[in-house]
């Protein structure tokens, strides 16, 4: 064991280490709170000046992370900064930056690369660098390793490099950062040892794998498993609907089998920063090896078609009452990508809104978690959330239930909406003015 390795392990075990978290979003903030709660000094680094200002004022910009937790962390030593020179103070640097796709559905590694380049001048002996962003197998070796070693540090001896994918599930009350097992792969056995010392303090169970590549592939398999199974059940939904069968009844019945079946429920498409995006990292990397990932591409096609399917159901419903979509007023319920959160990334609801608008419909939305439509890279709506009242609901020609937040009054909606297009299976009993989508 090198002296640097020994010193680093001891520092994490004694909680004397300073933890640097780079990227203070849905992944970085919960991790910061966890390290802060168990007595570590945490430095948060982000390029977004407004985020840093809000955190240092004890405010939160993520709905399910309360401001009082941020304020408590600040009062017990947490500081946020945009100053990358402070990287040299940190013993661990945990990278939680976005890895989106570009318009050709290829990995956009600019956040990871630019962040690593910004850290580079301030790296020193004894540090560990951990990448948590979801990415293709080989990223840590190909992109981080050469950059970390550029200044003469040697990975595995004087500095340590690991990949440990995030596994946050916002809005899920059954799991928190501490209780979700953490997969980790090191570039060398020494890197893995230091990584286990870093994460073992904060997470109940650490799962070691043999390499950074294996850890990268693990995260992709988890998300591809979901994407493929959701694609399958979305395809089954279309078939079941044509046959006059309720797919939700079928999934519930199948889920009573105590082995060999996992329940996945259909919806209006895929949303969030993981499931619609991550599978295509593997598709892209597999091409380098002359391979085609057909399951991934097929499920992507099926899931991508779901907003159009919801639109067709809306048009059918309006048609039945002698109306065209053009000129009709449509209220979309729920524009976050999943229930009970405020996260809008890749939300199929937004795509449904655009499709309605493109056909000449007049679109509005209601979402208790998103009071004003946010500025998004690719979508632009100047809208605020509509209050749900008997009078307001009756004003719309149709209501599309896109995201089934618990805060919605489903009985009120059922009583006063003229037409409901239900893409989430909230209304199970057949009712004349409710269409399953």
Give the active site residues: 274
What does residue 209 show for φ and ψ, rounded to 5 degrees?
-120, 170
- Beta bridge partners of residue 209, listed in sequence order: 185
Output DSSP code: residue 158.
Answer: T
Alpha carbon distance 415, 401 (integer Å):
14
The candidate with the shortest Cα–Cα distance to 119, out of 98, 155, 147, is 147
The number of beta carbons lying within 10 Å of the beta carbon of residue 86 is 15
All residues at 6 or more sequence positions from 88 whose CB lies less than 8 Å from its CB, including other chains: 122, 123, 124
Alpha carbon distance 48, 29 (integer Å):
14
Q: Is 10 helix (H, G, I), strand (E, B) or coil?
A: helix
The candidate with the shortest Cα–Cα distance to 398, out of 382, 379, 413, is 413
What does residue 130 show for φ and ψ, rounded to 5 degrees?
-125, 125
Output DSSP code: residue 240.
Answer: H
Output DSSP code: residue 407.
Answer: T
Q: Which string of b and e fits 330-366 if b means at least 16 CB within 10 Å?
A: bbbbbbbbbebbbbbbbbbbbbbbbbbeebebebbbb
**Greatest pairwise CA separation for the chain in angstroms:** 79
| Residue 280 and residue 135 in contact, taking contact as beta carbons nearer than 8 Å | no
Give 391: exposed, middle or buried? Use CB within 10 Å, 0-12, 13-18, 19+: exposed
C-alpha 426: how far from its chain's center? 23
| Residue 298 and residue 231 in contact, taking contact as beta carbons nearer than 8 Å | yes
Q: Is 216 helix (H, G, I), strand (E, B) or coil?
A: helix
User: What is the radius of gyration, based on Cα positions, of the chain?
Assistant: 24
| Residue 335 and residue 402 in contact, taking contact as beta carbons nearer than 8 Å | yes
């Amino acid at each position: 064991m090198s002296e640097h390795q020994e010193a680093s392990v001891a520092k994490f075990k004694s909680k004397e280490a300073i933890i640097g978290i780079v990227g203070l979003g849905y992944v970085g903030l919960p991790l910061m709170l966890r390290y802060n709660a168990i007595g570590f000094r945490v430095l948060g680094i982000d390029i977004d000046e407004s985020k840093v200002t809000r955190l240092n004022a004890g405010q939160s910009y993520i709905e399910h992370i309360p401001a009082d937790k941020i304020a408590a962390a600040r009062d017990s030593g947490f500081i946020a900064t945009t100053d990358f020179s402070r990287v040299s103070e940190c013993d661990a640097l945990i990278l939680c930056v976005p890895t989106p796709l570009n318009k050709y559905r290829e990995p956009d590694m600019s956040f990871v690369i630019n962040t690593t380049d910004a850290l580079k001048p301030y790296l020193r002996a004894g540090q560990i660098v951990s990448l948590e962003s979801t990415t293709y197998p080989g990223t840590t070796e190909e992109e981080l390793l050469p950059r970390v070693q550029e200044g003469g540090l040697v990975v595995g001896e004087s500095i340590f490099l690991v990949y440990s994918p995030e596994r946050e599930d916002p809005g899920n009350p059954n799991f928190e950062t501490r209780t979700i097992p953490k997969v980790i792969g090191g570039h060398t056995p020494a890197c893995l040892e230091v990584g286990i010392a870093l994460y073992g303090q904060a997470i109940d169970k650490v799962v070691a794998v043999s390499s950074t590549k294996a850890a990268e592939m693990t995260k992709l398999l988890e998300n591809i498993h979901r994407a493929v199974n959701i694609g399958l059940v979305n395809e089954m939904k279309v078939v079941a609907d044509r046959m006059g069968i309720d797919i939700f009844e079928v999934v519930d019945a199948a889920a009573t089998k105590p082995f060999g079946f996992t329940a996945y429920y259909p919806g209006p498409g895929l949303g969030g920063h993981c499931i619609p995006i991550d599978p295509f990292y593997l598709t892209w990397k597999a091409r380098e090896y002359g391979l085609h990932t057909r399951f991934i591409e097929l499920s992507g096609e099926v899931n991508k078609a779901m907003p159009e399917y919801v639109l067709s159901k809306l048009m059918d419903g309006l048609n039945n009452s002698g109306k065209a979509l053009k000129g009709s007023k449509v209220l979309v319920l729920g524009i976050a990508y999943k229930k009970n959160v405020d996260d809008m990334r890749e939300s199929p609801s937004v795509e449904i809104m655009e499709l309605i608008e493109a056909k000449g419909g007049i679109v509005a939305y209601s979402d208790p978690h998103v009071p004003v439509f946010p500025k998004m890279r690719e979508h632009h709506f100047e809208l605020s959330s509509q209050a749900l009242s008997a009078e307001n609901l009756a004003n719309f020609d149709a209501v599309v239930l896109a995201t089934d937040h618990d805060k919605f009054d489903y009985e009120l909606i059922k009583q006063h909406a003229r037409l409901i297009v239900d893409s989430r299976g909230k209304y199970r009993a057949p009712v004349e003015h409710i269409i399953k989508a």
